[in-house]
């Protein structure tokens, strides 16, 4: 094995009583698996595969120490022996692959989504509908015991350790910070009193589990909320947590209620590792950094430059369970990179759906989607090399089918080639790179610049044809829509038509938002420049001010274009965007001065601009260019041709369903078909 490329990342980490095989930590993520039928066996397969893939230390999703701490009713809990026994299958699966696994103990406090929530004080959170009850003194003491008991039960279940969740705004944070803790007893008042709660939790936990058991403490190093902790306070807490018996300190970045993106795709890679670095030297135990680290070169750089001893990644291991193994074997171009879209992981969790991954639909579906060699290899023609065609072709070919992939354009990627042009969506380049490599590895025969037609069908024998021809933009159907200044979003993004200084964007779906971002952006994407990005979001690059943001004004980006985005539907624009990212897109466009109008009727376009009716009153949106982002229609004419020839035909992706279709559904549909064809 040659690990020259990433010597720091792949170096073992000696914790004294045990050694981690490398510096990767699979960060905690709620998947919802434990709440599904046969959930623990599914978790075993999910984590077992990641252990087989080489992860240094796995941390499970959050498990409550008692029922009050549930994130939602009947969520995972570890408070008695019967709970403990259920986990054994998970820890065994990981140990069978020489992996190590810690259970995260998470008490949601006022973030709990049920009416029995508790907190330091009875102050409601802005992101949940329930007001918490303030814990009494004995309630605080019994909660501390519940943490320690939960850790002990985790040890009984075979876990190598626990992670105590002390960040992202959950119960422990709610004790630490003044704006959620107005107690006057020994758990409130001065900072020294407010941090007694986490210190006691770690101390009691260590007492209960003994010496040879990993205790990770996830410490909020930059709260990104007003009235958050100061840096001196963070350092003091870290030192006390070390003294209380923690083995590793992990980095927490921002509370959930913070209105600053911390993990979305527009956040620069490793944008917060400098925060972790500030703590290095202050404590003597290993320290782990996190947030938006998704490729081995970034992880290696973070450790090599002394920012941290370990790197935590959660979503990248959903996207590719064999990330570490590929890094070890210098097969980085084979990594299915997490593009930080949140569409199938966090957005699912918020909708109470099982998490998965847009680029890897097998994630959390390992037991049902097993990619096995086909017993009857077929000769397949796939038409269209967009996300659906690519995912189908490479999966089917990996099972032994003979696949020919036909693409009319000069490159693969389909709509992803549009997405990658949007500032802040640079990660889409990685998915295209991944598929190019998979085409090579699986032996898919790719025909670019090739229109699939009768001639091909007559000259070659295909057992089945898969139509993945995607979509075309929907045209506007009002007077003046054929004027030269009315352009499609594809023409706008590809620079095929000139765009003026005053623009009306018709349609406020995902693409309308993307186009507005593209049109109002000037200069380099701030996603590629951490310092500029920190300025844009009002974050102190030295983390000296309280919470990392107090008194810092965001620097609004300059745009020389005036853009108005419209939709016919009444109500808030961007309502259908992802729960975890929609607010970021809305904030970004607001900061760039993009105006939005909803509830309009389009009348006509002429030399004066776009004529609309708003509240039944005529109005003219004066503009020199109109960009149409009015959704798409399916492109599947080919189906009638193949069917007329009696060839078994499947239609997938945008060609199957354009309305509301996105890459997540397209790839999922493609992989499922390829698994069973
Ligand atoms: P979309 O989300 O369906 O939005 C289409 C927009 O066009 C709507 O705002 C709709 O609003 C308007 N529209 C529909 N028919 C129209 C017509 N005949 N005339 C005028 N306006 C019309 O489609 P999209 O924006 O093209 O996105 C396609 C898919 O890609 C979506 O599923 C989306 O999830 C995904 N995507 C997501 C993101 C993201 O989350 N950031 C980014 C890009 C793409 P009214 O009907 O109210 O006028
Ligand atoms: Fe990453 Fe998106 Fe997959 Fe989530 S759904 S793991 S953010 S690629």
pLDDT band at 630; cut points 50, 70, 90: very high
Q: Which residue has the tokens 């945008």?
A: 654
- For 315-353, the DSSP string reads HHHHH-TTHHHHHHTT-GGG--------TTTHHHHHTT-
Can you give the pLDDT at residue 3? Answer: 53
Can you give the pLDDT at residue 660? Answer: 61
Nearest to 586 by CA among 510, 489, 507: 510
> What are residue 471's DSSP bridge partners?
634
Mean pLDDT of 524-548: 96
Cα–ligand 1 centroid distance for 482 (angstroms): 21
Q: Is the dihedral of CA 262, 267, 268, 269 positive or negative?
A: positive
Per-residue pLDDT tens digits for 259-296 = 999 999 999 999 999 999 999 999 999 999 999 999 99
Helical (H) or strand (E) element with 486: strand 486-488
Q: Which residue has the tokens 């009850």?
A: 133
Tell whether the model's pLDDT for residue 1 goes beyond 60: no
Tell whether the model's pLDDT for residue 70 goes beyond 80: yes
Tell whether the model's pLDDT for residue 375 goes beyond 70: yes
Query: Can you tell me the distance from the alpha carbon of 205 to that of 215, in angstroms, rounded to the nearest whole number?
Result: 8
Tell whether the model's pLDDT for residue 2 goes beyond 60: no
Tell whether the model's pLDDT for residue 661 goes beyond 80: no
626 contact partners, CB below 8 Å, separation of at least 6: 476, 485, 486, 487, 503, 504, 505, 506, 605, 610
Query: Can you tell me the distance from the alpha carbon of 431 to that of 601, in angstroms, rounded to the nearest whole number?
Result: 38
DSSP letter for 180, please. G
DSSP letter for 131, please. P
How far, rounded to the nearest angstrom, does the alpha carbon of residue 361 sit from its chain's CA centroid?
14
Can you give the pLDDT at residue 534? Answer: 97
Radius of gyration of the chain (CA): 26
Mean pLDDT of 427-455: 97
Cα–ligand 1 centroid distance for 472 (angstroms): 13
Ligand 2 pocket check for 355: Cβ under 6 Å: no
Cα–ligand 1 centroid distance for 621 (angstroms): 20
Mean pLDDT of 339-356: 94
Per-residue pLDDT tens digits for 255-265 = 999 999 999 99
Query: Can you tell me the distance from the alpha carbon of 180 to that of 147, in angstroms, rounded to the nearest whole number?
Result: 21
DSSP letter for 77, please. B
Ligand sitting nearest the alpha carbon of 316? 2
Per-residue pLDDT tens digits for 583-628 = 999 999 999 999 999 999 999 999 999 999 998 999 999 999 999 9
Mean pLDDT of 379-394: 97
Question: Which phi and psi (to 5°) does residue 406 adopt?
Answer: -110, 130
Mean pLDDT of 501-527: 96
Ligand 2 pocket check for 358: Cβ under 6 Å: yes
Residue 327, sorted as left (phi over 0), alpha (psi -120 to 50) or beta, turns out to be: alpha
Question: Which phi and psi (to 5°) does residue 56 adopt?
Answer: -70, -50
Ligand sitting nearest the alpha carbon of 424? 1
Per residue in 560-578, is it b (16+ CB within 10 Å) or e — as a string?
A: ebbbbbbbeeeeebbeebb
Q: Are strands 471-473 and 632-634 parallel, antiparallel or unpaired?
A: antiparallel
Ligand sitting nearest the alpha carbon of 570? 1
- For 102-123, the DSSP string reads EEEE---GGG-SSTT-EESSS-
Ligand 1 pocket check for 26: Cβ under 6 Å: no
Mean pLDDT of 171-177: 98
pTM, rounded to two decimals: 0.95
Ligand 1 pocket check for 666: Cβ under 6 Å: no
Per-residue pLDDT tens digits for 191-248 = 999 999 999 999 999 999 999 999 999 999 999 999 999 999 999 999 999 999 999 9
Tallying the residues shown for the chain, one arrives at 677
Tell whether the model's pLDDT for residue 157 goes beyond 80: yes
Here the tokens at position 169 are 């705004």
Catalytic sites, residue numbers: 170
First to last CA, the chain: 36
Ligand 2 pocket check for 31: Cβ under 6 Å: no
By CB atoms closer than 10 A (0-12, 13-18, 19+), residue 177 is buried
Query: Can you tell me the distance from the alpha carbon of 452 to that of 455, in angstroms, rounded to the nearest whole number?
Result: 8
How far, rounded to the nearest angstrom, does the alpha carbon of residue 479 sit from its chain's CA centroid?
42
The residue whose CA has the least distance to atom 30 of ligand 1 is: 662
Can you give the pLDDT at residue 128? Answer: 92
DSSP letter for 24, please. E
Q: What's the mean per-residue pLDDT of the chain? A: 95
Cα–ligand 2 centroid distance for 320 (angstroms): 10
By CB atoms closer than 10 A (0-12, 13-18, 19+), residue 524 is exposed
Ligand 2 pocket check for 267: Cβ under 6 Å: no
CA-314 nearest atom, ligand 2? 6
Question: Which phi and psi (to 5°) does residue 489 adopt?
Answer: -65, -30
Domains and CATH numbers, the chain: 13-339 (3.20.20.70), 379-472+634-676 (3.40.50.720), 475-522+557-630 (3.50.50.60)
Contact 74, 35 (CB under 8 A): yes
């Amino acid at each position: 094995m040659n690990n020259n490329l990433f010597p720091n990342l792949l170096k073992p980490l000696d914790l004294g009583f045990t050694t981690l095989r490398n510096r990767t930590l699979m960060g905690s993520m709620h998947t919802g698996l434990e709440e599904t039928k046969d959930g623990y066996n599914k978790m075993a397969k999910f984590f077992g595969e990641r252990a087989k893939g080489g992860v240094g230390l796995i941390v499970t999703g959050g498990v409550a120490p008692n029922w009050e701490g549930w994130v939602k009713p009947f969520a995972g809990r570890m408070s008695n022996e019967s709970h403990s026994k259920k986990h054994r299958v998970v820890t065994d699966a990981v140990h069978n692959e020489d992996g190590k696994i810690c259970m995260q103990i998470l008490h949601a406090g006022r973030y709990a989504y049920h009416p029995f929530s508790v907190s330091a004080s009875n102050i409601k959170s802005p992101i949940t509908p329930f007001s918490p009850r303030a814990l009494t003194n004995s309630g605080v003491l019994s909660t501390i015991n519940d943490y320690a008991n939960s850790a002990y039960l985790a040890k009984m279940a075979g876990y190598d350790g626990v992670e105590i969740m002390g960040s992202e705004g959950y119960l422990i944070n709610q004790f630490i910070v003044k704006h959620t803790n107005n107690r006057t007893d020994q758990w409130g008042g001065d900072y020294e009193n407010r941090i007694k709660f986490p210190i006691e939790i770690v101390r009691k936990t260590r007492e209960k589990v003994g010496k040879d058991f990993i205790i990770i403490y996830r410490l909020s190093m930059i709260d990104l909320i007003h009235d958050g902790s100061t840096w001196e306070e963070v350092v003091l807490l870290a030192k006390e947590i070390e003294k209380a018996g923690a083995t590793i300190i992990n980095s927490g970045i921002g509370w959930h209620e913070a209105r600053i993106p911390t993990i979305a795709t527009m956040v620069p890679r490793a944008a917060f590792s400098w925060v972790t670095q500030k703590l290095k030297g202050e404590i003597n135990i290993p320290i782990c950094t996190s947030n938006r680290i998704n490729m081995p070169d970034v992880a290696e750089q973070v450790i090599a430059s002394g920012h941290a001893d370990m790197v935590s990644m959660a979503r990248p291991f959903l996207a590719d369970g064999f990330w570490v193994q590929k890094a070890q074997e210098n097969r980085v171009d084979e990594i299915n990179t997490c593009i930080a879209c949140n569409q199938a992981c966090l957005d699912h969790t918020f909708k109470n759906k099982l998490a998965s991954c847009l680029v890897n639909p097998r994630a959390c579906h390992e037991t049902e989607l097993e990619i096995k060699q086909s017993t009857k290899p077929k000769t397949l023609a796939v038409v269209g090399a967009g996300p659906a065609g690519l995912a189908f072709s490479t999966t089917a070919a990996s099972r032994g089918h003979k696949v020919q992939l036909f693409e009319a354009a000069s490159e693969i990627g389909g709509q992803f080639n549009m997405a990658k042009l949007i500032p802040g969506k640079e990660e889409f380049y990685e998915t295209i790179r991944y598929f190019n490599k998979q085409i090579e590895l699986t032996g898919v025969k790719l025909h670019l610049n090739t229109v699939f037609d009768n001639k091909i069908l007559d000259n070659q024998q295909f057992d089945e044809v898969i139509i993945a021809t995607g979509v075309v933009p929907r045209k506007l159907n009002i007077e003046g829509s054929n004027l030269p200044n009315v352009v499609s979003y594809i023409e706008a993004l590809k620079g095929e038509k000139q765009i003026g200084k005053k623009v009306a964007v018709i349609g406020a779906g995902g693409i309308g938002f993307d186009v507005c971002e593209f049109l109002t952006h000037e200069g380099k994407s701030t996603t590629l420049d951490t310092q500029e990005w920190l300025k844009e979001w009002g974050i102190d690059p030295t983390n000296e001010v309280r919470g990392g943001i107090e008194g810092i004004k965001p620097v609004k980006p300059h745009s020389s274009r005036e853009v108005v985005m419209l939709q016919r539907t009444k109500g808030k624009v961007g309502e259908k965007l992802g729960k975890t990212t929609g607010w970021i897109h809305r904030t970004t466009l607001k900061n760039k001065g993009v105006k939005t109008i909803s509830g309009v009727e389009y009348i006509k376009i002429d030399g004066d601009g776009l004529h609309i009716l708003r509240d039944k009153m005529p109005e003219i949106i004066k503009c020199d260019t109109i960009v149409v982002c009015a959704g798409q229609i399916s492109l599947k004419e080919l189906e009638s041709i193949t069917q007329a020839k009696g060839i078994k035909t499947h239609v997938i992706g945008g060609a199957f369903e354009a309305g509301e279709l996105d890459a997540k559904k397209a790839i999922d549909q493609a992989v499922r078909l390829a698994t069973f064809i």
